[in-house]
Amino acid sequence: MKELLLETKDLSVFYTIRKNEGFFKNKAMKMKVIDKMNFKLYRGETLGIVGESGCGKSTLAKAILGLNKDLDGDILWMGKSLKNQSGQDWKNIRKDIQMIFQDPLASLNPRMTIGDIIAEPLKVHFPHMNAKEVKEKVLQIMQKVSLIPSLINRYPHEFSGGQCQRIGIARALILEPKLIVCDEPVSALDVSIQAQVVNLLKEIQEQTQLSLIFIAHDLSIVKHISDRVLVMYLGNLVEIADYEKIYSDTKHPYTKALISAVPIPDPKIQKNKEIQLLEGELPSPMNPPSGCVFRTRCPIASDECVKSKPELKCKDNHFYACIKV
């Protein structure tokens, strides 16, 4: 039986915003960005998370990492609640949960050599390690991510975007975590470099039984790396299933629209392909639609969708939230 690492239970995440109501008057308001999210992540599994910009993907990642603590519901890490943890508790937990960021160059300190950047987590979590042990560990992890060890004293600006992302991956891996949250780690890279980075993550995962949460816009990349895919819309989980079921037996109309937008390499097939365009803009989370949050852009919406929010249905471990399906 697979080891359960992470579980969310009716997780809702909020942002506090301030509304100006006149001179020297500000009213604090809470905006719900994630609404009752439920999913599980197992050891050695990759969960792909997809959705439009503004749907709450990065907010969900921040909540898992303890960077946004204004939440309802719960997040369980290896059966232990992450709510109300002390600073020292989070320091211990973060040895097992690391992150890879979207912008590879901006996430690296330009004043530090890449050796110091990769070694920084060791100095924080294992201050007793001497300089020789730290350097040996850094050189090992550089080789693991295909970085030439002789470049250890170079600075980030001397590397390409793909190499900078490998440095970020090395920094995340050096503590030997159980989970890495990848927040759109390839969106700023060229297509050929994207494939190299994704293949590197898959190779490391096979060697170490590492778990990944892989956030992306590009469904073709998510399909290549994920075991399961979670589709989000306006902070809501609308569909989650094995990647094969998501693509071959799509249930939710929003997921169908996302998949139809994925380009096909064959120009003849692409030319005759039917693309389901979504009308309108993503609603504001400050004023979400009543009932089904997708109804204002849904091609099959009815009056019933206005009245009640759809519950998650399940068919052969395929979950989807749609009244009409």
pLDDT the model gives residue 125 = 93
Return d(Cα 96, Cα 64) in angstroms, integer.
12
Identify whether 84 is part of a domain: yes
pLDDT score recorded for residue 129 = 93
Q: What is the pLDDT of residue 44?
A: 93
- Distance between CA 199 and CA 294 in Å, rounded? 34
Query: What does the pLDDT read at residue 218?
Result: 78
Q: Helix, strand or coil for residue 215?
A: strand
Tell me the per-residue pLDDT of 148-178, one tens digit each, with 9 for 90 and over: 999 999 999 999 999 999 999 999 999 999 9
Give the residue with greater pLDDT, 22 vs 202.
202
Q: Using CA atoms, how far apart are residues 77 and 96, in angstroms rounded to an integer?
A: 10
What is the pLDDT confidence band of residue 27, given thresholds at 50, 70 and 90?
Answer: confident
Any domain includes 20: yes
Q: Give domain status of residue 258, yes or no.
A: no
Q: How far is CA 303 from CA 15, 26, 176, 239, in A?
A: 31, 38, 51, 22
pLDDT tier at 126, thresholds 50, 70, 90: very high
| Domain assignment of residue 74, yes or no | yes
Q: Name residue 215's beta-bridge partners.
A: 49, 183
Could you write out the three-class secondary structure of 104-136? CCCCCCCCCCHHHHHHHHHHHHCCCCCHHHHHH
Per the CB < 8 A criterion, the answer to whether 311 and 244 are in contact is no
Residues 260-279: pLDDT tens digits? 877 666 666 656 666 777 88
Residue 63 lies in a domain: yes
Q: Are 41 and 3 in contact (CB under 8 A)?
A: no
pTM here is 0.90
Reported in sequence order, the residue ranges of 160-251 that DSSP labels E, i.e. its strands, are 179-183, 211-216, 228-233, 236-242
For 36-78, write each residue's pLDDT tens digit: 999 999 999 999 999 988 889 999 999 999 888 889 999 999 9
The range of the structural domain enclosing residue 211 comes to 4-36+45-96+177-236
The pLDDT of residue 270 is: 59
Tokens of 299: 């091609």
Q: Of 215, 293, 235, nearest to 33 (Cα)?
A: 235
Residue 227 lies in a domain: yes
Backbone angles phi, psi at 36, to 5 degrees: 50, 65
Output the CA torsion 286→287→293→294 (10° steps).
-100
Evaluate whether residue 85 is within a structural domain.
yes
Number of domains in the chain: 1
Distances (CA, A) of 221 to 28, 194, 197: 39, 8, 11
CATH number at residue 211: 3.40.50.300
Question: CA Rg, the chain, in Å?
Answer: 21
Task: Locate 156 and state its tokens.
Answer: 């980030």
- Return d(Cα 136, Cα 141) in angstroms, integer: 9
Tell whether the model's pLDDT for residue 293 goes beyond 70: yes
Element (H, E) at 248: helix 243-248
- In whole numbers, what is the pLDDT of the chain averaged over residues? 89
Within-domain flag for 286: no
Query: Chain-centre distance of CA 126, in angstroms?
Result: 27
